[in-house]
Amino acid sequence: LKPFSCSIKPGGLAPFALMAAAPQFSHMFASALRPVARQPLLAARSSLPCVAAGAWGHGAAGAPRALTSRPLSPLMLSPRAMQRYSGRLLENIDLIVCDMAGTTVQEGGLVYKVLQQSMTNRGLEVSDHDMEPWHGAKKEAVIEHFARRSGTPDEEIDELITRISEDFISAIDEAYFDEASTIGPIESGLFGYFTALRQSGIKIALDTGYPANIQRGLVQRLKLDEVVDAYISSYEVPEGRPFPYMVHRLMERLGVESVKRVAKVGDSVRDIEEGVNAGCGLVVGVLSGADKAEALFAAGADVVAEYVTDLPLPRNRARAAGMRLPDLS
């Protein structure tokens, strides 16, 4: 995969990067590329051009020449151009479902470090590399995997899962809720961004692999309940990510009829798989947490941004929200 990347040069504003992978989103950037490519950008996950000035040209018949072997730098757009060409991403979205750790909550990867240490303390050998494929998974599934890999007898699995889970909850509770904890919103503008989205008529929800009491404590500590419409833990549905149940349950709670009008945002491959499995109309990966852009695109992300707050506000939707007719049913 060679994603198209648009970056805004820092100029009093925070650096911004947005990469699009799917055909339905690539047309938003086509006009910006015509001065370079002389034709609309045709995008597909399997063969997406990465376009930069001087990177590719046209043959006698007008067909694009092969991409050069050198690494391609992103096309640079001004903040106004980026807003213009990417401002339609959220126009047809009624609900955004965001992950917590690494997506909306900055906790430095504590949840993975604590779970890894809890397993190690109980005699399971788990390296940092071993943990990577399990980002975003329910902790019981992670523990069972490594317990079986280590040769733990079947009759001892459940007891080991219980003990490690208790160790984990005790340790994460102390790490998150101690007075010295530095946990906070993923980015300083998160609250204002969520407020602006809600004012435009988009609902915001949080989903997580945290146990419900940990999630509730985090939401209350960070006052996220003031800027989101709902939140759900994987312990409230039959299975967590990558199963789609949390997304569908949130749709039920918030009265959202079509999953095509739902966006899923997360920092891990399992977040992306959850959005794809749920049938979400937009699946967004963010680079503020666990996984890299290549892995997020490979899992099915339509768009990758540095932070969730980098997704442009839907200007047209904001105008339409003020003209919405009342429900007279």
Instruction: Return the exposure string of 109-118: e unless at least 16 CB atoms fall within 10 Å of the residue's CB, then b.
Output: bbbbbbbbeb
- pLDDT at 38 exceeding the cut of 70: no
DSSP string, 122-144: TT----HHHHGGGTT--HHHHHH
Sequential DSSP letters for 235-261: GGSS--TTSSHHHHHHHHHHT---GGG
Strands 75-77, 95-98: parallel, antiparallel or unpaired by DSSP? Answer: unpaired
- The topology (CATH level 3) of 95-106+186-321 is Rossmann fold (3.40.50)
User: Alpha-carbon distance 206 to 215, whole Å?
Assistant: 9
Alpha-carbon distance 73 to 76, whole Å?
A: 9
Average pLDDT over residues 148-152: 91
Q: pLDDT per residue over 87-129, tens digit each?
A: 678 989 999 999 999 999 998 888 888 999 999 999 998 998 8
Measure CA 139 to chain center.
19
Average pLDDT value for residue range 232-257: 95
